[in-house]
Amino acid sequence: AQSVTQLDSHVSVSEGTPVLLRCNYSSSYSPSLFWYVQHPNKGLQLLLKYTSAATLVKGINGFEAEFKKSETSFHLTKPSAHMSDAAEYFCVVSDGYGGATNKLIFGTGTLLAVQP
Amino acid sequence: EAGVTQSPTHLIKTRGQQATLRCSPISGHTSVYWYQQALGLGLQFLLWYDEGEERNRGNFPPRFSGRQFPNYSSELNVNALELEDSALYLCASDTQGLMNTEAFFGQGTRLTVV
């Protein structure tokens, strides 16, 4: 069975410093992986997705993630944090080829705080 | 273009009662999905409706049910509410329940069972 583990429940960074949100996955075959963001009182928004193409995936708002099969990791990074990045981030693996919405398995989330 | 809309935003019920949550998908989307986001548990897949039919359900008891209407909007019904049903319920929609389509999520309904 597929699963994801988000290694940090809370991350705090200063504005302008790099962001690293860690995610490890477990999969018996080549997975589809996603990062979603949830701002307060808003729905989930897709940041980026990996579906077996390039291992470095670029998303919206300057975020990117690198698929590392040897480490079973899909960490989310951003070179410079903005105040508007404060939100909860979810790492997601698909329990089916291609990322069908009913097959998404969500991690427990990482709450990102950005200090001025 | 309007996104996925859910109502009500907040709902308070007592144990044993029934709750009804509503979702309107993005125009043109035929599939609706329901997820439960309980504190500390992440999002868990509940139900998938497409073209008016239930296509798949997650590991939840039968007192969680729903339906999809001809206009593709959907209701989630939770019967015999229990305290642990307190959670944020998110609805998502996409064009079809197949691969490589992006799902769009609503803001959710916060259900509190007291």
Question: For B25-78, how does the pLDDT look when each residue is reduced to its tens digit (9 = 90+)?
Answer: 999 899 999 999 998 778 899 999 999 999 999 999 999 999 999 999 999 999
pLDDT band of residue A23 (cuts 50, 70, 90) is very high
Specify the pLDDT at position A101.
76
pLDDT in tens, A25-39: 998 777 889 999 999
> How distant is the Cα of B61 from the closest Cα of chain A, in angstroms?
17
Q: Dihedral of the CA atoms B4, B6, B9, B13 (nearest 10)?
A: -150
CB contacts of B98 in chain A (<8 Å) are 98, 100
The whole-angstrom distance between B40's CA and the closest CA on chain A is 6
Task: State the average pLDDT over residues A7-15.
Answer: 96
Confidence of residue A96 (pLDDT cuts 50, 70, 90): low
Q: Report pLDDT for A28.
A: 73
**Residue type (1 letter), A18:** P
Q: Residue B92 forms beta bridges with which residues?
A: B33, B105
pLDDT band for position A99 (50/70/90)? low
Look at residue A8 and give its three-state secondary structure.
Answer: coil
In chain A, the residue whose alpha carbon lies closest to the alpha carbon of B50 is A102
Reply yes or no on whether the pLDDT at B101 is more than 70.
no
Q: Which residue has the higher pLDDT, A49 or B12?
A: B12
Give the residue-averaged pLDDT of A56-81. 95
Bridge partners of B66, per DSSP, are B76
Residue from B44, B94, B99 whose CB has the most chain A CBs within 10 Å, to mutate:
B99
Is the pLDDT at B13 greater than 90, yes or no? yes
Mean pLDDT of the region A84-112: 85
Q: CA-CA distance, B105 to B84, in Å (whole number)? A: 23
The mean predicted confidence, pLDDT, of chain B is 91
Per-residue pLDDT for B100 more than 80? no
For residue B97, pLDDT over 60 is answered with no
- B1 compared with B20, residue with greater pLDDT: B20
Mean pLDDT for chain A overall? 90
CB contact under 8 A, A107 and B42: yes
> In whole angstroms, what is the distance from residue A60 CA to residue B16 CA?
43
